Amino acid sequence: MQRQFAPVASAYVHSTTHAHGADLPRMLELAAPTGRERVLDVATGGGHTALAFAPQVRHTIAIDLTFEMLTAARQHLAAHGGRRVDYCRAVAEALPFASQSFDLVTCRVAAHHFADVRAFVAESARVLRPGGRLLVSDHLGLDDTDLDAFMDRFERWRDPGHVRAYRFAEWHDFCQEAGLSVVHTEEFPREPYAFDSWTARIRMPEAERAALERWLLAAPARFRECFEITEQDGHVVSLRSVFGIIVAHKPVLPVVGDA
């Protein structure tokens, strides 16, 4: 994973989809910060989520597995006035923070890369204070197994680091196992992938890019319709994946009075 993303860190900072995706203000709206929160942004990538939350909260820590990505995120935030943000290299499944340290844990367009998403959710629950919330925006698995397999194939073909997209029902299970309650889910229509920039951002080899394009163009009609595969002059112009937002709450334990 580090070998894959280290060379393309700058591309993720400048990616229009990552920088200006409409799910980012929606996450902020759902979080409704008061200004007193301590936030952990997991797999910060280009730092866009940390940058959006930083002015609205007391303190933010941005973590990523890849040192080069953290460096790019720090430079990005510094250039845009990001303050009260610290950075830490860490894996999502083993967070190096004390229990009950954060009011919000955010994770945007990254959970599909995690080797063990259950461990990520469990760790998020551990570091959240009672009453805290986990907010995830990511690829969303589909109930139709054929469509789900098709989406999984084109995502992994383009990005071998793609592990899996999970259905809402699975997120409910992960959160329940970790002691969190899912309080909100919504399918969120992120912007379509512009095929050329989408494949270029990950530095996809030309032969693989061309093979993926041929495969998409040959897809049956219902797949092309579902994923809005558009073409011009025999080339794919754009396609759309499926995304969703999940908000989970860590319950506040009742105070037990003296017997």
What is the residue whose two structure tokens read 């009011």? 103
Which CATH number among 3.30.1360.120, 3.40.50.150, 3.90.420.10, 3.10.129.10 corresponds to the domain 2-145+159-191+241-249? 3.40.50.150
**3-class secondary-structure state, position 108:** strand
Q: Once rounded to an integer, what is the mean pLDDT over residues 120-144?
A: 97
pLDDT at residue number 133: 98
Structure token pair of residue 237:
């112009």
Distance CA 223, CA 108 (A): 26
Identify the weakest region by mean pLDDT among 109-118, 121-130, 184-193, 229-238. Answer: 184-193
**3-class secondary-structure state, position 179:** coil
CB 144 within 8 A of CB 90: no
Q: What is the pLDDT of residues 211-235, one digit of tens each?
A: 999 999 999 999 999 999 999 999 9
Q: What is the pLDDT of residues 71-122, one digit of tens each?
A: 999 999 999 888 899 999 999 999 999 999 999 999 999 999 999 999 999 9
State yes or no: pLDDT of 187 exceeds 70. yes
Interhelix angle 145-158/206-217, rounded to 10 degrees, is 160
If one compares 136 and 16, the residue with the highest pLDDT of the two is 136
**60: closest CA among 82, 39, 91?**
39
Q: What is the mean pLDDT of the chain?
A: 91
pLDDT at residue number 253: 78
Please give the share of the chain, as a percent, with pLDDT higher than 90: 83
pLDDT at residue number 257: 58
Strand order in the sheet with 102-108: 85-89, 59-64, 38-41, 102-108, 128-139, 243-249, 181-187
State yes or no: pLDDT of 36 exceeds 60. yes
Long-range own/partner contacts, residues 249-255 (CB < 8 A, 24 or more apart): 249/131, 249/132, 249/133, 249/180, 249/181, 249/182, 249/183, 250/125, 250/128, 250/129, 250/130, 250/131, 250/132, 250/133, 250/134, 250/179, 250/180, 251/130, 251/131, 251/179, 251/181, 252/130, 252/131, 253/130
- pTM score: 0.89
- Per-domain boundaries in the chain: 2-145+159-191+241-249
pLDDT at residue number 7: 47
